[in-house]
Amino acid sequence: MIQAHAGVELTPLYIDAAEQRTELLQQAQALTKVLLSSQALANIVMLGAGYFSPLTGFMNRADSLSVAHTMYTQAGLFWPIPIMNLIDDASDIEPGQRVALCDPHCPEHSIVAIQTVEAIETLSDEDSLSIMTHVFATTDSAHPGVANFKAQGRWLISGPCEVLSFSYFASEFPDTFRTAPQIRQQIEQRGWQKVVAFQTRNPMHRAHEALCKMAQQHVQADGVLIHMLLGKLKAGDIPAKVRDAAIRKMVELYFPENSVMVAGYGFDMLYAGPREAVLHALFRQNCGCTHLIVGRDHAGVGAYYEPFAAQDIFLDQVPAAALDIEIFNADHTAYSKKLNKVVMMRDAPDHTLDDYVLVSGTKMRELLSTGQPLPVEIARPEVAQIISQHYQQNTHK
């Protein structure tokens, strides 16, 4: 199986031993409480689940800026996006202190981790602008990732963490949320050697289905990991539970048995385009995947990134030795009326736009919200029914 990032063993920070976890939770009651932002909570879940191996906690200012500028920590670890704990007020925290990190998503703000504070630093306006420019390629507050970043505090609390909870992800998605070691174990149990990962924050339509099958066939993979984001999205995106149900129905009906593993991870979407695509590749390598599908506008939003910028970054900016996982570059996919199947447009040079069935996201949402069926060339009927039911319920509220 492919090695984890940087060639080291996975380092999940979740305290698996129940007695030790209970003892730490008791200790945490007496510690200063720090309410996490949604993004910092997501970072804790990813650290706890081993996806962010070999990190041991939150980055300091020097590492955060170094990662933003060069995609390397000061110690030389390749990493594409700063992993930070930014808070509004650190006046009652001192270096060397242990603090209890609290969940912003539950009313009681339960404790999810203990952090040993190595440093307390502030991000200047210049620091923040630099991070946004390098990570998001914009400082525009209309960009949802930039807006979330700006909404966080500017006190940067760095240091190692002991993770005590996976927040709501494990309880609300017991059949889907999986840690990186769990995915590796399942890959090994299935006897897979080559595994293609497919990243999704949306329900899968027929082009996605075909893309997974094309990639699997092209790289001669044993299986596909359909790995869905379960965390916070921008307004208007389809909730995780609906996506989960739709994806599972597609896999059940339209993929060969034992060819797909469905799993989810607890992270908020950054919409950071190319940089986020690199992070997606890194933590899929930690899951044991040998390939990642990177398609048109991967992890993008609006018109902030060029259509294939997320593919170009692996050629132009990611050093060859930085990652072991390989990228499967996908073109735009659409249903061909000539061939009666979904194709990648680059593979059909004799086609014109009139030869394809193309439906925009706006048009699809319009059809769904009014109860009209999606074209069978776009969505499997069983999948469309699940999504349509969600839209109709929410439209009529």
Residues annotated as catalytic are 201-202
User: What is the end-to-end Cα distance of the chain in Å, rounded?
Assistant: 49
Provide the token pair at 292: 């990642």
Is 367:374 a contact under the CB 8 Å cutoff?
A: yes
Q: How far apart are CA 234 and CA 237, in angstroms?
A: 6
User: Do 212 and 198 meet the contact criterion of CB atoms below 8 Å apart?
Assistant: yes
386: Cα within 13 Å, side-chain hemisphere? 21
What angle, 0 to 180 degrees and rounded to 10, lies between the N-to-C axes of helices 274-287 and 309-316?
A: 70
Residue written as token pair 């699809």:
364
Please answer whether residues 272 and 201 qualify as being in contact, where contact means their C-beta atoms are separated by less than 8 angstroms.
no
- On the question of a cis peptide bond just before residue 203, with omega within 30 degrees of 0, the verdict is no
CB 224 within 8 A of CB 320: no
Identity at 308, one-letter amino acid code:
F
Question: Which residues are CB-contacts of 171 (< 8 A; sequence separation ≥ 6)?
Answer: none
Is residue 228 within 8 A of residue 243, CB to CB? The reply is yes
